[in-house]
Amino acid sequence: MSGKYTISREDWSLHRKGEIDRERHREKVKEAIKKNLADVVSEESIILSDGRKVVKVPIRSLDEYHFRFDTGKRKHAGQGDGNSKEGDLLGSDQKKADGPGKSPGAGDEPGVDYYEAEITIDELAQLIFEDLGLPNLQQKKKPELASEAFEFKDVRKMGISSNIDRKRTIMEAMKRNALKGGIKGTYNITRDDLRFKTWDVTFKYESSAVVLAMMDTSGSMGPWEKYIARSFFFWMVRFLRTKYQNVQIVFLAHHVEARETTEEEFFTKGASGGTRCSSVYKLALEIIEERYSPQDYNIYAFHFSDGDNLSSDNERCVRYVNELLKICNLVGYGEIEGPYYHASTLRNAFKKLSDNNFTSIGIKDKSDVYPALKKFFHNRNESKA
C-alpha cells in the first residue's frame, strides 16, 4: 500500500522575510554601536587590530534577556570519549585573553554568550565620523600632480558586455513591451534595449595633509596614557584619510628635549625626567618649515601631555602655539588627567589663547576619547562649508 505524499519545488525568490529581519537586526546593531561609541572608540581590539579589516564589538544591549540560570554555577552534561574521569579539564575561560571566540570548541561551550557584532573598521569609522567635520578648510595651492581617475557616469547603447546596466536594460524592455501592450512579466530583451555603463576620464588633484603627533614621554606618561593618545591618533588619521588622498604622520616625542621618532617608539618607549613642552612645538615649527609648506599641506598638530610642564616654560609654549596656529588648520592640546588632582599649569596658560582653531581637551577616561575627537573635529564653520 502506498500513502499520500507530495513532493514539490516552489519559487521562493520572493520570500524575503529572513533577509528583511536580518537587515533590521543589522540596523539595531548599528544603533547600538552608535550609542556606545564612547566605549567602542577606545576598544583595544580595534586600536591594536594590526590591520585586520573586521573587528568584533561586544554589544550587550542586543542580548535577548530572559530569566535564565547562571551558567557559571550550574552543572552541564557532556559526553567523553570513553574514559573520562572526575577532574578532567574541558576548557578554560582564560583563553579569551587572546581574542574572544578563539577557544577550542567555541560555539557549544557554555559561558561565552554575549553578542558580538562583526563590523568592518571602515563601517565603524563611518559611524564615528558621521558627526565629525573638518573645520577651517583652506584652499591650498593646487599641486602640480594630478592623477587620472575613471568615473562611471554615463549610459550608452553600445559598450562592453561586462559593463551592461541590468536595471536600465530591463526598464527599457519593460517600456517597449508596455508600449506594444505586451504581456506583463515577459521581456524578450532585444538588442535595442541594451544599456551600458560608460566611464569618463577625470583628473583628481592630490590633496595632502600632515598630522604632527606630539607626545610627552616623560616619566609620568605610562602605558595607559600612551594608549589614550594612541587611540586618539588612530581615529584622527583615519578620519583625515577620508578627506585627503594623502595623509602623513610625523611622530614627535619629547621630555626636556624633542626628537622625531618612529611610530613604534612613539607608542612604546618611555623616557624619564622633566618636561619642557616648548621643545616639541619648536621642533614642529622647524619640521613644517623644512618639509611641509603650509601652501601645499593641511597641517594638524596635536599634543598629548599630562600637563606637568616646567612653569618657566609656559610663556614660551603659548608663543610657539600662536605661531603654529598661523600655519596649521588645527592645533589641539590633550591633557590626560591623572587619578589625583593637580592644578595643571600648561592648560591654564593655554586659556589665554582665543584662536578658534585651538582646542584644549581634558581626558580622564577611555570613554573620553570619543568626545575629544568630536570636540576637536566639530564643524566650526558649517555655514561656510
Partner 1 sequence: MHPTLELKALDEATEKIDAIARNFNLDFYDMYFEICPADIIYSFGAYGMPTRFSHWTFGKAYHKMKTQYDYNLSRIYEMVINSDPCYAFLLEGNSLVQNKMVIAHVLAHNDFFKNNHYFKRTTKKMVESMSTAANRIREYEFKYGRDRVESFLDSAIAVQEHVDPQHHISAVAKKTEGHEEHGCSVGKCSHGQCSNKHSQGASPSPYDDLWDLDQKECAGKCGGGEQREKKFPRQPEKDLLLFMMEHARDLEEWQRDILSIIREEMLYFWPQMQTKVMNEGWATYWHMRIIRELDLTGDEAVEFAKMHAGVIHPSRYTLNPYLLGLKIFEDIEKRWDNPSDEERAKFDRKGNEGKSKIFEVRESENDISFIRNYLTRELIDDLDLYLYKKVGHEWKVVDKDWEKVRDGLVRNLYNCGYPHIVVENGDFGKRGEIYLKHIHEGMDLDVFYLEKTLPHVFKIWGRPVHMETAVDGKEVLFSYNGEKVSKKFI
Binding status of residue 122 toward partner 1 by CB under 8 A:
no
Binding status of residue 179 toward partner 1 by CB under 8 A:
no
Asked if 33 and 57 count as a contact pair (C-beta separation under 8 A), the reply is yes
Give the DSSP letter of residue 163: G
Residue linked to cell 539595531: 28
Binding status of residue 8 toward partner 1 by CB under 8 A:
yes
Binding status of residue 120 toward partner 1 by CB under 8 A:
no
DSSP string, 193-213: G--EEEEEEEEEE--EEEEEE
Binding status of residue 69 toward partner 1 by CB under 8 A:
yes
Binding status of residue 62 toward partner 1 by CB under 8 A:
yes
Binding status of residue 28 toward partner 1 by CB under 8 A:
yes
Site for partner 1 in 217-276 (CB under 8 A): none
Contact region with partner 1 (CB under 8 A), list: 58-66, 166-174, 312-320, 358-366: 58-66
CB-side neighbour CA atoms (13 Å) of 283 = 22
Asked if 367 and 35 count as a contact pair (C-beta separation under 8 A), the reply is no
Q: What's phi and psi for 156, nearest 5 deg?
A: -130, 170
Q: Which residues pair with 298 in a beta bridge?
A: 209
Binding status of residue 98 toward partner 1 by CB under 8 A:
no
Neighbours of 383 (CB within 10 A): 6
Number of residues that bind partner 1 (CB under 8 A): 62
> Based on CB atoms, which residue is closest to partner 1, 92 or 186?
92
Q: What's phi and psi for 260, nearest 5 deg?
A: -85, 140
What's the grid cell of residue 170?
530591463
Q: How far apart are CA 148 and CA 205, in angstroms?
A: 9
> Based on CB atoms, which residue is closest to partner 1, 71 or 356?
71
Binding status of residue 341 toward partner 1 by CB under 8 A:
no
| Cβ within 8 Å of residue 34, ≥6 positions away | 127
> Based on CB atoms, which residue is closest to partner 1, 5 or 340?
5
Please pick, from the candidates 50, 53, 66, 203, the single residue that binds partner 1 as defined by CB under 8 A: 66
Q: How far apart are CA 175 and CA 193, in angstroms?
A: 9
DSSP string, 14-53: T--HHHHHHHHHHHHHHHHHHHTHHHHHT-HHHHT-TT-S
Q: How far apart are CA 112 and CA 31, in angstroms?
A: 23
Please pick, from the candidates 39, 109, 206, 296, the single residue that binds partner 1 as defined by CB under 8 A: 109
Binding status of residue 382 toward partner 1 by CB under 8 A:
no
Q: How far apart are CA 307 and CA 277, in angstroms?
A: 9
> Based on CB atoms, which residue is closest to partner 1, 84 or 356?
84
The minimum distance between CB 123 and partner 1, in angstroms, equals 15
> Based on CB atoms, which residue is closest to partner 1, 80 or 181?
80
Site for partner 1 in 128-157 (CB under 8 A): none
Binding status of residue 14 toward partner 1 by CB under 8 A:
no
Binding status of residue 102 toward partner 1 by CB under 8 A:
no
Contact region with partner 1 (CB under 8 A), list: 87-95, 180-188, 194-202, 309-317: 87-95
Please pick, from the candidates 83, 161, 162, 188, the single residue that binds partner 1 as defined by CB under 8 A: 83
Which positions touch partner 1 (CB under 8 A)? 1-10, 12, 15, 17-26, 28, 62-94, 105, 108-111, 115
